[in-house]
Amino acid sequence: MLQIGYIRENRDHVIERLRVRNFAAVELVDEVIALDEQRRQLQTESDALAAEANAAARQIGDLMRQGKREEAEAIKAKASGYKDQQKKLADALAAAELQLHEKLVLLPNLPHQSVPKGMGAEDNEVVLEHGHRSELPEDALPHWDLAARYDIIDFELGTKVTGAGFPVYKGKGAKLQRAMINFFLDQAEKAGYREVQPPILINGASGFGTGQLPDKEGQMYHVGIDDLYLIPTAEVPVTNLYRDTIVKESDFPIKLTAYTPCFRREAGSYGAHVRGLNRLHQFDKVEVVQIVHPEKSYKVLEEMSVYVQSLLRALNLPYRVLRLCGGDMGFTSALTYDMEVWSAAQKRWLEVSSVSNFEAYQSNRLKVRFKGGGGKMQPAHTLNGSALALPRILAAILEDNQTEKGIRIPEVLVPYTGFEWID
């Protein structure tokens, strides 16, 4: 959440950065400033009235001690309306604060200065490309056909049990999933991340804290009777572990990793581009989260990007890194890098990771703070990244490593799978 003081003091800059996002409702900025002015005025009136009431109370007390009862009663009669006036002002102030909050949470984060302008994915900036795109024979199969041939993923069985987008992994397919999860967690531990196992159901406060609510209700599964949500990513419960926490500056950087299943409704997702593992409603992912000093967050973002790339290099998958344009960024992000792997059979890029710096946007909502120089309380910066999301990684591994003999398992995963081939 943006801080109202910053918006008030930097109105033109805020509007300019929101336009980089193609954020249509820039009039919200002036509405927020006007509501804040109303709130501040009401607060001033409330403070002044409270001061008058306190002064009158002291004067009445002094007069009573001096035995000047009549004078005291006269002032008491004059001050009798203070209580009603204070209640009216308190009610008006609470209403103004609520209205301001409701408008303020509709404003997305401000894009970093390096974020390119653009409307959508076609305007994202390619930062680098690594590896050679595999050249497969003409009869090479996409991963959904390979899954059927080797009986390792059953999409139809998942549809019967739950619905489309809920595959069943079988045999070596299930073992390969487990192998990737363990490999990613072990690599994260080596990189200094502490593993946690968080809940996969969250309450509304957690969804608000990381920015999924009120922006993404339609993308999350809601358990109505308990008013809980299935997590769209481990970012949500892991970051919320520090909600309403004052951390020590000496504890930075706080580095956490978690494996969880993830659940996304992905309403309106149809067509060939979502076939097979390309887009699912339930999938597995290992997440990395950092909470850091504001002065270090962009250095940490680059380090996290390099770390995710190291996983793709270890798997020997060709990939590219994109800097997302304003129109393709998430609501809470200030700067996001997407990592995409090349699908040799589908002949297109598949996103497998997003690494984002949220600056203070999430921590303002979460109230994750620390005492900086001079003992002043300030918000920390939060970052997270997929390291990695499994479905499209699995798709690329199956397609890139298909041979006449079968599917070769990447060397780094063999100690985890216990086998070298799917055949």
H/E stretch holding 25: none
Categorize the per-residue pLDDT at 204 as very low, low, confident or very high, splitting at 50, 70 and 90.
Answer: very high
- In the chain, where are the structural domains located? 4-104, 121-422
Q: Which residues are annotated as part of the binding site?
A: 233, 264-266, 287, 351-354, 384
How far is CA 318 from each of CA 121, 142, 173, 343, rounded to the nearest angstrom? Answer: 20, 17, 22, 9
**pLDDT for the residue numbered 269:** 52
Pick the CATH number of 121-422 from 2.60.40.10, 3.40.50.1820, 3.40.50.150, 3.30.930.10: 3.30.930.10
Q: Which residues are annotated as part of the binding site for L-serine?
A: 233, 264, 287, 384
> Under 8 Å CB-to-CB from 383, ≥6 apart: which residues?
289, 290, 291, 292, 297, 300, 301, 304, 355, 356, 357, 358
Tell me the pLDDT tens digit for each residue of 60-87: 888 888 988 888 888 877 777 888 888 8
Tell me the pLDDT tens digit for each residue of 269-318: 555 567 899 999 999 999 999 999 999 999 999 999 999 999 999 999 99
**pLDDT for the residue numbered 136:** 86
**CATH homologous superfamily of domain 4-104?**
Serine-tRNA synthetase, tRNA binding domain (1.10.287.40)
Q: Which residues are annotated as part of the binding site for ATP?
A: 264-266, 351-354
**pLDDT for the residue numbered 214:** 87
